[in-house]
Structure 1
Amino acid sequence: MSKFRKSLLALACTTALVGTASANHINESFDGAWTGPVGTNKGMMVDYIPAANLFFFTFFTYDAEGNQLWLTGSFPTVAGQFDYTGVPVSVVTGGQFAAPGAPVFDQVGTVDLAISCGAIEMAFDAADSGLSDFGLSLAPSLNVDSLTSSQCNMPVSTCPAGTSANGNDCDLPSSISNDLFLPAGKKYIVNGQVSVESGGRLIIAPGVTVQGADDDSVPNFVAVKAGGQIYAEGTAEQPITFTGPRPEVGSWSGLVIAGNSTCNDAAAGQPCTFEAVPEITYGGTQLDDNSGSLRYVRILWAGFAVRQNEELNALTLLGVGNGTKIEYVQTDGGKDDGFEFFGGSVNARYLVCSNMGDDCLDFDQGYSGNIQHALVFQGENTDIGSDSNGIESDNDSSNNDKEPRTRPTIANLTLVGSANGNEGMRLRRGTGGNYYGVVVTGFKDRCLNLDSAGTFALGTATAQGEELSISNSFVGSCTGGQFEDSAGSADPDPLPYLVSAWYNAGTGNRAGDPDLSGFLPNASSPLLTGGATPNDPWFIPTTYVGAFAGPRDNWTQGWTANLPGQ
């Protein structure tokens, strides 16, 4: 074996052991395309054939004249074995489809493979073929769902490398600078600040629970710093849970993810600083920055203060880019906000915020992403009060017109309030935003409020502006009234126009009884028709208003916690 192959295989085996090799098995969840880092132009196609217990793969390289060569190989898998060395690879010629003929296999080298659920490390030894040796670190790509597949998720009985045993549980390290994989079978404890550093990855298997420590003498939270990544991809049957040591509001602090997308509070080219934890900085110009993936994730009982009067949100997103995937994520029972977007361009689908002490969706510092299918169910929380809103969207209090302006694009949103909260939608401080197919009802104060001169300047009494609009939406009944048509302390007095007039100027907007059972529309609900979505390929076209197509379209079922009917 060449020194090149030995050194790469040693690295691959280390990655596999620290990562997923000890916790997964090889099966059809690996089928599809695996790709190398951007710029390598290399990858691998994989097909596991169960009947033959055979792992087949193909990849390409170039000969000395620059011609592309496709190489193939295969080997029978062995239960519990994840490292395979000296696997022959060949160039295949001859043979025809639907005609007699025998293909010719010309061996041109061998590969060593270290296989894990979220990564394949490959070292190609060209031997004497005249090709070049190379190594690749491959990640799942087209048609591969291995990171979220419960088939590739085997529980462990001992703490994985990189963590430390604490009774039956495993303590997380305070700093993660490489890959740390958390397989199922153990609970993982957050003691103090657990930081995923730039270049590090925290990868979490389906069904895993990550829990704040019992000791709350310091705030316990996970912080993914700019340049770091988190891959927490559960399934509907095995969601991943971040929670506190007790089912109590604020029994741990929460999850923070920072990225390198935009933030309008940056000064003189410097990054923004997270006010609650000043050592965490974020923001830049990389709209497509990738901080990883959250899928089928629940974040419960967050909000423990990290310093005086600075509670953490359940999920804080700091300048996170749209290369990040956020789907099927619930925040519940937190003391502060459910989801707070400080700038960034990240997109999200299928969000649930329930029983939250403060705002559910909070936008600030120039957030510009897309959100579709989101539920705000205010519910019950000991911390709900007169400043707890369904949506609170700000641009900047001292400069309402600061650029880039906060301007999310949101479709299919259901907001259901409670008797103890405040407003359904509070749009203020110069915020923009384009809302489609929203239903808002049941809040203690108003359903819809525009606040501050900079916000009113984005529309008129007879026309909604390009930067701030709401269309094909439905306002139900709120205790304080449907619209805030009187001037507040932060508003120009008299108001430039009535909020009700601005809403009625929008295309397809209606008001009345939305006919809901809990948060789902009944079969007779007016929400089943009259919806619309933006002319943007990211959005799934819909014709209904709110997050649900009808009484049986409950996409929250099974993976969420503490919702009515669950």
Structure 2
Amino acid sequence: MVCASALAVVTVAACGDDEDTNPTGTTSTTSGTGGNGGDGGGGGGGDGGGGKGGGDNEPDCDAPVEVTEAIEEDTTWSADNCYLMKDTIFVEEGATLTIEPGTTIMGDKESLATLVVKPGAKINAKGTADKPIVFTSQSPKGERSAGDWGGVMLLGNAPINVPGGKAEVEGIVGVEYGGDVEDDNSGVLEYVRIEFSGILLSQDNEVNGLTLAGVGSKTTVNHVMVHHTLDDCFEFFGGTVNASHLICAQNGDDGFDWDLGYVGKLQFLALQQDPTVADETNGFEGDNDADGSENAPVSEPTIYNVTLCGKNKDVDKQQYGMLLRRGTKAHIFNTIVTGFEAGVDLRNDGTEVDLASSIFFGNIKANIAYDETDANKSTESTLDDDDDGGADEVAWFEGEATNSAEDPELAGCFAAKPDFRPAATLTENAATPPDDGFFDAEAAYIGAFKADDTWATGAWVSFDAE
């Protein structure tokens, strides 16, 4: 396990049973013309900006370049144009789609357009804080909503734990991912916002804001925001990809979901849930696979520096800061969980989680778990009354001396334009991330932010509701 040398951790094994809580593509010639205009937007202060960061000509999104066919050779989308994807747009094996900083890409509402980067293909979407690449609805501002279009999918050749090593991606018929290339490279996503996306096709068959399926460790993913998606913000289906500086806001389902043998590293994650969504939504949802098998590779992410802010209201549905089950393993440090129905639920044989240097505060029905006899203070546990097979989450959480239920004094993580920062940087009992070339070893504090952090500012961040 990876952790600071002086840090002790508690491992729990949950046991028992668990209950389960297309577009097919044609795609791509381009047609249409660019122009001038755009609704711009500087960011700052976590308020974010509008749809553009701007090319020099500020293109007219009322006259977008239409993308209707598969991308079979190297292609560049310019910030001088807006683009409208119609139907499912595949980037085919061997091709690279390059998207310039400041480019806006819209998804067609009628066809629920989705961008799919196939195994062996690449995306090079490298925006900047003030010239982000924005995937958004084609509806005008004020009329946009979650589910207006599909989402973005990166599919790779990295290992997944499905027998045979390959699986068909959710929501897209006949397209497989997975393989044996741990360091596979699907390209770059940097300073990208994905908003008003998500498709619910059927139970457990959805298109998320950003899907990373069998994506390998040479892929670069950082400073990505998924906002107002109908389903999960980020879902990892196996793979080895590492990611940092991820923001999930106003999502319709889980914030960060992993499955099928995901073993990557994550750092600096922030979540604000939508209080108007009454569904069973969780901050983290982690599984080894849907059957809770021991198939290898076993899901086992390592995660540092997280702030998870729930709905901050009783929605009469079970929703957890962390729902960890079906044989997943995980190593989680420097995390704040607040405003959920309950902090955590651990389920099923084989589920083993290390959690340390973390704060659970202000969770509404039970600060740590539904086992508690007092929702505001962890006291005795009454086991087997929440269908988790007797996992004693309270004893597990409190058994690690670096965990706390003290108020982290966040500035405003439930606000319409949230500020996730604490009043003072939370260094007491914090773990030091490993200096391994990915983690920021200087982030020895609890939560995704220091008191004076500015990484969630600029035009790449927007919390616009419509």
State the AA in 2 paired with 1:557: T
- Structure 1 residue aligned with 2:332: 435
Q: Deviations over 1:222-279 (max 9, x none)?
A: 11011111111110110110011232110001111100001112x2x35111132131
Q: What CA distance in whole angstroms lies between the structure 2 residues aligned with 1:439 and 1:305?
A: 29
Measure how far apart 1:503 and its partner are.
1.5
Unmatched tracts of structure 1, length 5 or more: 1-17, 19-149, 159-165, 459-467
State the AA in 1 paired with 2:432: T
Is the alpha carbon distance of 1:316 and 1:417 closer, same or farther for their aligned partners in structure 2, counting shifts above 3 Å? same
Measure how far apart 1:531 and its partner are.
1.6
Q: Secondary structure at the match of 1:330?
A: strand
State the AA in 1 paired with 2:65: C
Give matches, 1:74-93, under 5 Å.
none
Q: What CA distance in whole angstroms lies between the structure 2 residues aligned with 1:313 and 1:277?
A: 12
- Structure 1 residue aligned with 2:185: 290
- Structure 2 residue aligned with 1:449: 345
CA contact (8 A) 1:424 1:440 kept: yes
CA contact (8 A) 1:452 1:490 kept: no
- Structure 2 residue aligned with 1:473: 358
Match of 2:125 among 210, 232, 246: 232
- Structure 2 residue aligned with 1:357: 252
- Structure 2 residue aligned with 1:535: 434
Match of 1:547 among 448, 456, 463: 448
State the AA in 1 paired with 2:172: V
1:258 aligns with 2:151: no
**After alignment, is 410-419 or 516-525 more displaced?**
516-525
1:509 aligns with 2:403: yes
Is the alpha carbon distance of 1:489 and 1:446 closer, same or farther for their aligned partners in structure 2, counting shifts above 3 Å? closer
Unmatched tracts of structure 2, length 5 or more: 1-29, 31-52, 372-382, 414-419
- Structure 2 residue aligned with 1:80: none
CA contact (8 A) 1:179 1:201 kept: yes
Match of 2:274 among 379, 384, 388: 379
Give matches, 1:117-516, under 5 Å.
155=57, 168-214=63-109, 216=110, 218-246=111-139, 247-265=144-162, 267=163, 269-305=164-200, 310-380=205-275, 382=276, 384-418=277-311, 419=313, 420=315, 422-443=319-340, 445-455=341-351, 458=352, 468-484=353-369, 485=371, 486-487=383-384, 490-492=387-389, 495=390, 497-506=391-400, 508-516=402-410
Measure how far apart 1:399 and its partner are.
3.5
Q: What CA distance in whole angstroms lies between the structure 2 residues aligned with 1:308 and 1:428?
A: 18
CA contact (8 A) 1:211 1:243 kept: yes
Q: What CA distance in whole angstroms lies between the structure 2 residues aligned with 1:156 and 1:413?
A: 36
- Structure 2 residue aligned with 1:11: none
Q: Deviations over 1:491-532 (max 9, x none)?
A: 32xx1x51011122335111121111123344346x243321
Measure how far apart 1:311 and its partner are.
3.1
Is the alpha carbon distance of 1:203 and 1:505 closer, same or farther for their aligned partners in structure 2, counting shifts above 3 Å? same
Q: Deviations over 1:72-98 (max 9, x none)?
A: xxxxxxxxxxxxxxxxxxxxxxxxxxx
Q: Secondary structure at the match of 2:367?
A: strand
- C-alpha RMSD over aligned residues: 2.5
- Structure 2 residue aligned with 1:559: 459
Q: Deviations over 1:414-446 (max 9, x none)?
A: 001112472111111111110010110111x11
Give matches, 1:79-118, under 5 Å.
none
Is the alpha carbon distance of 1:308 and 1:370 closer, same or farther for their aligned partners in structure 2, counting shifts above 3 Å? closer
Measure how far apart 1:305 and its partner are.
4.0
State the AA in 1 paired with 2:302: T
Name the count of aligned residue pairs: 386
Q: What CA distance in whole angstroms lies between the structure 1 residues aligned with 2:400 and 2:279?
A: 28
**After alignment, is 516-525 or 469-478 more displaced?**
516-525
State the AA in 2 paired with 1:483: I
State the AA in 1 paired with 2:206: E
Q: Deviations over 1:205-224 (max 9, x none)?
A: 0111110124x1x3311110
Is the alpha carbon distance of 1:190 and 1:487 closer, same or farther for their aligned partners in structure 2, counting shifts above 3 Å? farther
CA contact (8 A) 1:224 1:257 kept: yes
Q: Secondary structure at the match of 2:216?
A: coil
Q: What CA distance in whole angstroms lies between the structure 2 residues aligned with 1:448 and 1:309?
A: 22
Measure how far apart 1:378 and its partner are.
1.1
Measure how far apart 1:385 and its partner are.
2.7
Measure how far apart 1:563 and its partner are.
3.6
Is the alpha carbon distance of 1:425 and 1:223 closer, same or farther for their aligned partners in structure 2, counting shifts above 3 Å? same
Is the alpha carbon distance of 1:430 and 1:180 closer, same or farther for their aligned partners in structure 2, counting shifts above 3 Å? same
Q: What CA distance in whole angstroms lies between the structure 1 residues aligned with 2:204 and 2:243?
A: 29
State the AA in 2 paired with 1:404: P
CA contact (8 A) 1:172 1:190 kept: yes
Q: Secondary structure at the match of 1:549?
A: coil
Greater relative CO, 1 or 2 (CA 8 Å, sep 6+): 2
CA contact (8 A) 1:451 1:488 kept: no
Q: Secondary structure at the match of 1:294?
A: strand
CA contact (8 A) 2:78 2:103 kept: yes
Is the alpha carbon distance of 1:240 and 1:319 closer, same or farther for their aligned partners in structure 2, counting shifts above 3 Å? same
* Percent identity over paired residues: 35
Q: What CA distance in whole angstroms lies between the structure 1 residues aligned with 2:102 and 2:200?
A: 27
Q: What CA distance in whole angstroms lies between the structure 2 residues aligned with 1:452 and 1:187?
A: 48
Q: Secondary structure at the match of 1:403?
A: coil
Q: Secondary structure at the match of 1:483?
A: coil
The structure having more radius of gyration, on CA atoms, is: 1
Measure how far apart 1:392 and its partner are.
0.5
Which structure has more strand as a fraction of its residues?
Answer: 1
CA contact (8 A) 2:150 2:197 kept: yes
Measure how far apart 1:336 and its partner are.
0.4
State the AA in 2 paired with 1:482: N
CA contact (8 A) 1:521 1:528 kept: no
Match of 2:423 among 495, 500, 523: 523
State the AA in 2 paired with 1:201: T
Q: Secondary structure at the match of 1:402?
A: coil
CA contact (8 A) 2:101 2:133 kept: yes
State the AA in 1 paired with 2:178: G
Q: What CA distance in whole angstroms lies between the structure 2 residues aligned with 1:201 and 1:530?
A: 45
Q: What CA distance in whole angstroms lies between the structure 2 residues aligned with 1:350 and 1:518?
A: 19
Q: Secondary structure at the match of 1:510?
A: coil
State the AA in 2 paired with 1:405: V
Q: Secondary structure at the match of 1:344?
A: coil
